A = this chain, B = another copy of it.
């Protein structure tokens, strides 16, 4: 049984905690906030037994053996390390960190303390992902040639954390990470070379970023990410014989509900096929997979090795964008 502590009262708790409460192998034991009032209010809402006014206090609670970390991006690694040092398994919201050295630290601390640390990429946990991977492997769309993905929606509030340079805001770390991670998870490799161009916001983060990822065997990824324009969301996988299209609306959104339970396969000369998968909440898939890894020893869906490929790629894209599109090799 996993007994969870939740570090902070971030909005995403509204998606994560209800799924934790549904899961028979998990229970929500405690929640912490720097504001004890906020922690108490959240505890009351979800009937969580314990509240803490500091993250450190929660981490020393020996009853807790798993921690959910939905803190601002810039704090993810620090608190995952501290949690691991206290012997807690962790799900850390994406991006798990924005520094390679932090991934190394997380790998080290996880090994030393024999805990599992997993990045919270909900879309990779959804049954849709496995079904797509099987479809590609079946060869029905032929040899994979390129993938296109975009995740672009306008965040109106100028004080939103997505615009904060200090907290590693911007379109790539917060939105582009979805299609980027999906491409890397599907191919099982990071790109060899990337190039990117960006449009900066007044606050100094990448408001929009366009990226080309060159993978092995001349396979490409083409990505648009934006937090200043609402051009929508889509993902397509193009092969020599056909393509797989994820629903264009909210394909990466945690609460995409019915929109994530299918995808379309078009093979030239054949009628379009709609493949339906179990309509599971992606957070519940994530929690169930995490439980299976911790309690049954099943390999994690999003390993720290995979997270490292993703972080390395996004750092390279940032570097390219800062150098006006100069290709960056990984």
Using a CB–CB cutoff of 8 Å, the interface residues on chain A facing chain B are 145-146, 148, 150, 152, 154, 193, 195-197, 199-200, 208, 210-212, 214, 218-220, 222, 224, 226, 228-232, 236, 238-240, 242-243, 268, 324-327
**Residue in B195, B197, B231, B238 whose CB lies within 8 Å of A197:** B195
Task: Name the distance in Å between A82's Cβ and chain B's nearest Cβ.
Answer: 39
A145 cross-chain contacts in B, Cβ below 8 A: 199, 208, 226, 228-229
A210 cross-chain contacts in B, Cβ below 8 A: 146, 212, 220, 222
Q: Which residue of B lies closest to A200 (CB)?
A: B218
| Contact of B243 with A239 in the complex, beta carbons under 8 Å | no
| Contact of A324 with B193 in the complex, beta carbons under 8 Å | yes
A226 cross-chain contacts in B, Cβ below 8 A: 145-146, 238
**Residue in B219, B222, B236, B325 whose CB lies within 8 Å of A327:** B325
**Residue in B200, B212, B224, B268 whose CB lies within 8 Å of A230:** B268
Determine the distance from Cα of A268 to Cα of B156 in the docked complex, in whole angstroms.
11
| Contact of A220 with B199 in the complex, beta carbons under 8 Å | yes
Most buried by B among A210, A236, A243: A210
Q: Which residue of B lies closest to A154 (CB)?
A: B268
Q: Give the secondary structure class of A's interface.
A: strand
A240 cross-chain contacts in B, Cβ below 8 A: 154, 228-229
Q: Which residue of B lies closest to A224 (CB)?
A: B222
| Contact of A229 with B199 in the complex, beta carbons under 8 Å | no
**Residue in B208, B211, B218 whose CB lies within 8 Å of A146:** B208
A325 cross-chain contacts in B, Cβ below 8 A: 193, 195, 212, 214, 325, 327
| Contact of A199 with B218 in the complex, beta carbons under 8 Å | yes
Determine the distance from Cα of A196 to Cα of B152 in the docked complex, in whole angstroms.
22
How many copies the complex holds: the figure is: 2
Q: Which residue of B lies closest to A141 (CB)?
A: B229
Question: With A195-B195, A327-B326 known to touch, is A224 a contact of B268 (CB < 8 Å)?
Answer: no
A324 cross-chain contacts in B, Cβ below 8 A: 193, 214, 327
Question: With A154-B268, A238-B152, A327-B325 known to touch, is A212 a contact of B228 (CB < 8 Å)?
Answer: no
Q: Which residue of B lies closest to A223 (CB)?
A: B222
Determine the distance from Cα of A324 to Cα of B330 in the docked complex, in whole angstroms.
13
A242 cross-chain contacts in B, Cβ below 8 A: 230
Q: Which 9 A-B pairs have the closest CB atoms?
A: A325-B327, A199-B218, A195-B325, A231-B238, A210-B222, A210-B212, A229-B238, A195-B195, A197-B212
Question: With A224-B148, A268-B154, A324-B327 known to touch, is A214 a contact of B238 (CB < 8 Å)?
Answer: no
A214 cross-chain contacts in B, Cβ below 8 A: 197, 324-325
Determine the distance from Cα of A220 to Cα of B325 in the docked complex, in whole angstroms.
12
A232 cross-chain contacts in B, Cβ below 8 A: 243
Question: With A214-B325, A230-B268, A231-B148 known to touch, is A220 a contact of B197 (CB < 8 Å)?
Answer: yes
Task: Name the distance in Å between A271's Cβ and chain B's nearest Cβ.
Answer: 15
**Residue in B150, B152, B195, B238 whose CB lies within 8 Å of A212:** B195
Task: Name the distance in Å between A138's Cβ and chain B's nearest Cβ.
Answer: 18
Most buried by B among A211, A212, A220, A242: A212
